[in-house]
Chains A and B, each alone.
Chain A
């Protein structure tokens, strides 16, 4: 089995990074991980830049690359990778998320750092495989493989009650995966029955699924859809998320909210839309409603949350509701807007969790009711946090505003009701994000929690540069939206 094309480095380099991390001494694991992931990000952007910054969709399509390699002949499965204007964004986001996650500091660099970095690189590998693969069996394997490092991260470096959290996460995700697997097998068995050659390539399966009818098509669709809905997650498939986000170590939280959630978004855009256009159209009203309910319901839960991490977790679901609203418009414009918002969401949620991890460094045992008045002691950190909060409430000028605005604008003609319902999320979003910021930033420490509890310096050095660059992106692309919207 020989891999010799230009796309394979997306998979081989992370694996190489994983092996290398086992050889690097413990003490320099963080530096190694940051440098290696930065290098990988640079290579990824370089490789994808032609497509990302192409002036038109025609040019971008011409620059798209697809490589095929026969792999599992029994399944007709090929290692078929495609880099186009959809996958290119997710691949870049994946590399970027790794940089941010590796840049956090904490127990994971003290206890078993080698395991942590190698898990991180494995995650990078698995996600890239999922984002690039056009073959559903390969996609499924990659999709599954991503759980493994996540489960280990929560299990090894997570907080209290971790076993339960890990198990819930596993249970829900596994349920979704099984359903997808059943659907996939069903499609493959159809192929076998029809006597045609077995192939799990998307284009072959599209030809097949268009022949499905009635309840059969709907059931197969549901298998795929539920898997992705759990992954995003959409309400009511979100219940695993609270404990996992709460108890997971910060890098795992960053990975989950910034990029693993996008696996669900990507799955719907890349596979469900072409495979089941009619069924999607049939369920569209309900799906839009689910997305809008996710926005509102999660926002209300965020408003009630007492723990900042939990608050951000629900806020993440709420914003992903907007993304899915765009996807379920089932129009090219809506989907482009959703991809744009996905990029914004990745940047901002990663930034927020990263900054929150810095706050927790200053004061352990974060609790909105007990942490007060930190903005005076850490002004730079809190200015950065405030800007991130503004981006999260999609203040005009940020990428997130452009995304939410375009999503809602394109959803409005499809369903005015769901658009308006989701729109109220904007007010609730401002309410809980201000609460989040103000409680930690201002006020006087309540009795018992004295000043000495905080420790460490203000944001500076590499971390400051990283945060600054991310914020710059959020605003720069907030105005230069044409990069995402070409040709629609």
Chain B
């Protein structure tokens, strides 16, 4: 029952903090952030400890299909459908579990320093709820349970993006995330219907070994992929993620960088055998991944909000992982999920530390020269910067290189995809250096009021930064812990991984140099721009579109047809109205009498009517 306990611990934390929230409210006091935070952090840290034990118990074999299975109860049993509620921890779900609970506990700890007392119990309750749902997503042994986690993390994300509910803009950002994800969720829902119709099962293990007819595999794969684009913010469902930055920064680090947004990669890796049955699906995944990576990297170069830069960067990095899944090497994608969780969580928490120090300033053109006043933040951020650029020996170097290499040599790799990714890597180095320089180097551009209060963050915030900095530095040395096999070569044939390494380091250096040249001495500020304007287009097409269809239904069909039919006989309505007006002025007894009379009349009518007919 270890896995079950692991999953339930965050749920327990959710209930404890929820109870704490309401009891504080009943006493008309604010909950203490320390108490709430300790409850939340302990719940998750204990889950992490269990996850480590479970991981170790898998043994050293490294075999892909070894797993611990725990069945709890029968959830839905109808006809030939039998959905067990149960968990399964194997290598793939194990890595995700370790990342969720490990990075999760650090971010919980960090939040104790970041959040205020006000609303803190609610905050930690939501954060624990998120972890619970996320664990269901990766550990669930059947698709409906994955779906529970899938929609559950969407809910937690909604609650946390809109956490500061005083601003209506935050609520709208939360709503946008929820609705866009719901569109994606439909993909998973329909994929389940197809799976059940053709394979007769929704169990993940059974499904993975089932071979579908080609066209069914394509339909199933594309629907799964649609779901993944929603959760992992890929084209076409990515515009919610930048808006999701409205939430508290630790939330952005945990949900919108390290864990939830990688669930698409999890699902693709989990269903890889089925995905692989359709070359079309793989091609779409790789193409969309590469396109998203490039497009959002370009957009990131035009952002001036520190969190928005990181958000677009996350979308771009997720695109890399999708490419890995699309070219037929999901293990490299999963490896990048892990290293990305370290360095992107680090970057977000670092950004949070900066924002915290600057009393809420998020515009990078209003920062500058923070290197000396925030030394710990600066050094750990440097580790994150080096990791995302892919400088050796930082973790990103290994995983990003892996993807670049695979995009060329893996079964479905190609030169075009490699070229797109390489250019994206160049842009990544450029916009990250731009951010890094503008925040930490050069002249201070802080306003007077802010400058007085600049301070390094407390230890509960810097400690997680240190741990994550270490992980971002060394996390790649463990190599890809999930390499199934490396014998699948197709694509363009054999290419030396060392050549790729040299190319990629050169590209990163070039991008970084350009960023340095352009921004190191620059004093002008840039306005945020979205070069693709996808968000505006969506607002018009889908937002207004739905409004228009709904208006059409309500004005023309409903009011124009149905309600008019009902009113067709104005005289009849008047008659009825007058009839009831006279009825309404009686006493209770009068009404009752009428009621009884009506029933009696009805019964009599029936009896005599039919009686007569019968004769």
Does B associate with A? Answer: yes
Name which residue of chain A comes closest to B611, CB basis.
A74
Cβ of B141 within 8 Å of any chain A Cβ, yes or no, is no
**In contact, A238 and B193 (Cβ under 8 angstroms):** no
Which residues of B (427-474) have their CB < 8 Å from a CB of A? none
Selected from A164, A239, A304, A408, the residue in CB contact (under 8 A) with B553 is: A304
Question: A164: which B residues are within 8 A, CB to CB?
Answer: 573, 576-577
Question: A444: which B residues are within 8 A, CB to CB?
Answer: 168
CB distance from B550 to the nearest CB of A (A): 4
Cβ of B498 within 8 Å of any chain A Cβ, yes or no, is no
Cβ of B513 within 8 Å of any chain A Cβ, yes or no, is no
Question: A409: which B residues are within 8 A, CB to CB?
Answer: 81, 192-193, 196
**In contact, B614 and A74 (Cβ under 8 angstroms):** yes
Binds B, one of A202-210, A217-225, A251-259, A426-434: A426-434
CB distance from A29 to the nearest CB of B (A): 11
Selected from A167, A423, A442, A481, the residue in CB contact (under 8 A) with B190 is: A423
How big is the A interface, by class?
35 or more
Binds A, one of B267-275, B522-530, B558-566: B558-566
Selected from B179, B550, B581, the residue in CB contact (under 8 A) with A304 is: B550
Question: B197: which A residues are within 8 A, CB to CB?
Answer: 412-413
**In contact, B179 and A431 (Cβ under 8 angstroms):** yes
Q: Count of A-B contacts with CB under 8 A?
A: 187
CB distance from A406 to the nearest CB of B (A): 6
Cβ of A44 within 8 Å of any chain B Cβ, yes or no, is no
Which residues of B (167-216) have their CB < 8 Å from a CB of A? 168, 171, 175, 178-179, 182-183, 185-186, 189-190, 192-194, 196-197
Bound form: Cα–Cα A240–B70 in Å: 52
Selected from B78, B144, B165, B610, the residue in CB contact (under 8 A) with A75 is: B610
Question: A122: which B residues are within 8 A, CB to CB?
Answer: 595
Name which residue of chain A comes closest to B565, CB basis.
A239
Bound form: Cα–Cα A137–B144 in Å: 44
Binds B, one of A59-67, A92-100, A143-151, A280-288: A143-151
Bound form: Cα–Cα A239–B553 in Å: 13
Interface residues as binary, B259-285 with A (CB distance below 8 Å gives 1, 0 otherwise): 000000000000000000000000000
Cβ of B495 within 8 Å of any chain A Cβ, yes or no, is no
**In contact, A152 and B151 (Cβ under 8 angstroms):** no
Which residues of A (454-488) have their CB < 8 Å from a CB of B? 479-482, 485, 488
Cβ of B606 within 8 Å of any chain A Cβ, yes or no, is yes
**In contact, A141 and B606 (Cβ under 8 angstroms):** yes
Bound form: Cα–Cα A410–B610 in Å: 43
Instruction: Count residues of B near A (Cβ-Cβ below 8 Å).
Output: 72
Bound form: Cα–Cα A332–B79 in Å: 9
Bound form: Cα–Cα A474–B194 in Å: 28
Interface residues as binary, B64-85 with A (CB distance below 8 Å gives 1, 0 otherwise): 0000000001111111010001
Given A156-B584, A170-B576, A380-B22, answer yes or no on A301-B553 (Cβ-Cβ < 8 Å): yes
Which residues of B (551-577) have their CB < 8 Å from a CB of A? 551, 553-554, 557-558, 562-563, 565-566, 572-573, 576-577
Question: A420: which B residues are within 8 A, CB to CB?
Answer: 190
**In contact, A115 and B592 (Cβ under 8 angstroms):** yes
Cβ of B1 within 8 Å of any chain A Cβ, yes or no, is no
Binds B, one of A6-14, A33-41, A184-192, A263-271: A184-192
B residues contacting A by CB (< 8 A) are 22, 25, 73-79, 81, 85, 144, 147-148, 150-152, 155, 162, 165, 168, 171, 175, 178-179, 182-183, 185-186, 189-190, 192-194, 196-197, 546, 549-551, 553-554, 557-558, 562-563, 565-566, 572-573, 576-581, 583-584, 588, 591-592, 595, 598-599, 602-603, 606-607, 610-611, 613-614
A residues contacting B by CB (< 8 A) are 22, 72, 74-75, 112, 114-115, 118-119, 122, 137, 141, 144-145, 148-149, 152, 155-156, 162-164, 166-168, 170-172, 185, 188-189, 192, 198, 236, 238-240, 242, 297, 300-301, 303-305, 332-333, 336-337, 375, 379-380, 390, 395-397, 402, 405-406, 408-410, 412-413, 416, 419-420, 423-424, 426-428, 430-431, 434, 438, 441-444, 479-482, 485, 488
Interchain residue pairs with CB less than 8 A apart (25): A72-B607, A75-B607, A118-B588, A119-B595, A141-B602, A141-B603, A144-B602, A145-B599, A162-B580, A164-B573, A168-B566, A170-B576, A188-B610, A192-B613, A297-B557, A300-B550, A301-B553, A301-B554, A397-B152, A409-B196, A419-B193, A428-B546, A442-B165, A479-B73, A479-B75
